[in-house]
Chain A
Amino acid sequence: MSNEIPIIELEKVSKSFGLFKVLDELDLVLEKDKVNIIIGRSGGGKSVLIKHIIGLLKPDSGRVLIQGQDIAPLKERSLASVRRKFGMLFQEAALFDSFTVEENVAFPLREHTSKSIREIQETVEARLASVGLSGMGGKMPSELSGGMRKRVGLARALVMDPQIVLFDEPTSGLDPVMSAAINDLILRTQREFGATCVVISHDIEATMKIADRIYMLYNGKIIAMGTPREIRDWDDPVVRQFIRGEADGPIKVN
């Protein structure tokens, strides 16, 4: 571990919805310029965790530090400037369905830069090409398949050259080939853009392939973290059951 300020750090973050405690004094430090993958059960608070990182949800207690700055007490307007460091790919891509593909990808540029229409067009076309969708700019999101929508979502997330890219279950609901393609794109995102990637997933196989670091979220806490190899050899029965995908064990199916 270096003495640098970590890019993303959560300190004793708790969050409840009603009586249900989703995050329980969770501590987490993510590594810069790496593919960080957070695994855990569906409905186990992974999405809640990622929404805390980008300030869509506020913790009941604890601190969320982005490059050393606590974003939990920030007002909406100061949050907006922090958020420009981020790109996010949503679970269902969350493309604006009244816009074309091109307009979707161009949206952050139109909002936050003073680039000319031609410059924007060139950037958008380049980004679409890099996710393998050149020439699709004129289509509406409803005309695309799930995998294509996600790739457009990724192009949109990357168009502002963010330092941190968040992926909310990027491969859920996709066929194996498309999943592999998306995983490739995550790796390329890290390498070509030098971004810190934070991925939420329950796809163990792919996680083992592309992760630099894996963090396992269980019962509101991070119970294991390490390289794929370390996680694979982890001693804890909960982690072992999850990694191997067994129905019997300490994790109860309800």
Chain B
Amino acid sequence: MQSFGKHFIKALLMLIPAVALVAGMEMYQKYQQEQAGGSMQLGSPFTLQTQDGPFTLASDGNELNVIYFGYTQCPDICPTSMSVMSAAFNQLPTDALQKVQGILISVDPERDTLEHLKTYAEYFHPQIKGMTDAPETIRALSARYGAFYQKAEVKGSAMGYTVDHTSVFYLTNREGQVLETVSHSASPDDLLAALKKRLL
């Protein structure tokens, strides 16, 4: 009987570090969440290159900016997203549209020339600017926005490589702080609703 009590206490003592560990992890997680929701703001101002010279979000940006990370050789998802942006813009009243800047940031600077980026972006809407910069600059910037992309070799395909990427619209203010994100959709409704909420 005495040995049972001893073992019981031993077991209890052994539990303490485990409980402490779990509690500590939970507290850390909560702390991290608070950081992400509060001071850890997604987005940032930036200066990137366009065919018409450098573009700085903080000074050249509009009251509301819609940023999309993509690339022009992207056969389907990016043109779909660009069409979505264009359709949403076209359904805004003129005065609201003037307060918005569409931004396509190429995550494939090795293949996308500034000239082609300009043609490509403006093809969808005159209010969209195409821009990019050195690969490491784009990589660092995308991380600040929570965007993700990676090259993927397509075996046996003439494409060479494609770029897997998140397909998200980032709505930012003039300072490049992300106010809202709109996930990929083949319909402009979600983006339009988000734009209207901010502008009308």
To the question of whether A and B form a pair in one complex, the answer is no
Instruction: Enumerate chain B interface residues (CB-CB to A < 8 A).
Output: none
